[in-house]
Structure 1
Amino acid sequence: MTENTYSVSGMACGHCAGFVTEELERIPGVATVAVDVENGMVTVTSDSDLDIADVRAAVEEAGYELTTTPSP
């Protein structure tokens, strides 16, 4: 399993976290998504490394902006 943490801007509440989680869980291989709205961080656990373009697209589909690349 691989775990990466991303910075996401624009999230303000639990509903925001739900939208981001829902979109990220659609990416093949994603096992879990943990959103920290207060700090604007999203931790994704997956079967293998994810393509950053897929992560960015999922976050944008939810209506937010991926502001950093992953950090292990």
Structure 2
Amino acid sequence: MNQSTYTVTGMTCDHCVASVTEEIGEIDGVQDVVVDLASGAVTVTSTEPLDDERVRAAVEEAGYKLAS
């Protein structure tokens, strides 16, 4: 099992959290997504290491950005 943490910018409410959780959750191998709204930290648990570009694309699909 792998765990990665990303920082997502622009989230301001529970709807934002739900959108990011849903989009990242659709990536193959993702088992769990935990979002901390206050810090923007998104912890993703997956069966295999994730391609950061796939995570970035999912976050952008939800309408937000990964911090550099």
Task: Structure 2: state its 5+ residue gaps.
Answer: none
TM-score of the pair, normalised by structure 1: 0.92
In the alignment, is residue 4 of structure 1 matched against residue 18 of structure 2? Answer: no
Could you state the TM-score of these two structures normalised by the residue count of structure 2? Answer: 0.97
User: Which residue in 2 is equivalent to 1:24?
Assistant: 24
Question: How many pairs does the alignment contain?
Answer: 68
CA distance in 2, matches of 1:45, 1:12: 23
Structure 1, unpaired ranges of 5+: none
Partner of 1:35: 35
Identity over the aligned pairs, expressed in percent? 56
Deviations 1:9-61 (A, max 9, x none): 00011110000000001100000000001111100000010001100000000
Deviating above 3 A after TM superposition, structure 1's stretches of 4 or more consecutive aligned residues are none
> Is residue 62 of structure 1 aligned with residue 62 of structure 2?
yes
